[in-house]
Amino acid sequence: MKEGRSRAVKIPAPTYDQIAELVSQSEQFQSVSDFVSFVLQELLAGKPEPEESTYDEEELRRRLKDLGYL
């Protein structure tokens, strides 16, 4: 995550736990905050993920839906 100003966002504990599980299995993210920040930036940018990413857009959307974000 880029250093700088940030704000806290509340999410349900079960959602946090699901994200933490994903992060624990990922080499790309160091924390839940890193993952959430990445996902939100990608959604706001409205562009597909880079080819080198281990997540495809459909899988990412499915995971976001499972986590209650979509």
Chunked into runs of 10 residues, the chain (70 residues) has average pLDDT values of 80 96 93 94 77 72 84
Which range of residues forms the domain containing residue 18? 13-66
Number of domains within the chain: 1
- Asked if residue 30 belongs to a domain, the reply is yes
pLDDT at 25: 93
- Asked if residue 27 belongs to a domain, the reply is yes
Distance CA 5, CA 14 (A): 26
pLDDT at 56: 77
pLDDT at 48: 60
- Asked if residue 6 belongs to a domain, the reply is no
Inter-CA distances, 32 with 7, 19, 22, Å: 14, 6, 9
- Asked if residue 8 belongs to a domain, the reply is no
Q: pTM here?
A: 0.58
Distance CA 51, CA 9 (A): 29
In our burial notation (b when 16+ CB lie closer than 10 A, e otherwise), range 1-10 reads: eeeeeeeeee
pLDDT at 38: 93
pLDDT at 59: 84
- Asked if residue 4 belongs to a domain, the reply is no
**8 A C-beta contact, residue 49 and residue 60:** yes
- Asked if residue 40 belongs to a domain, the reply is yes
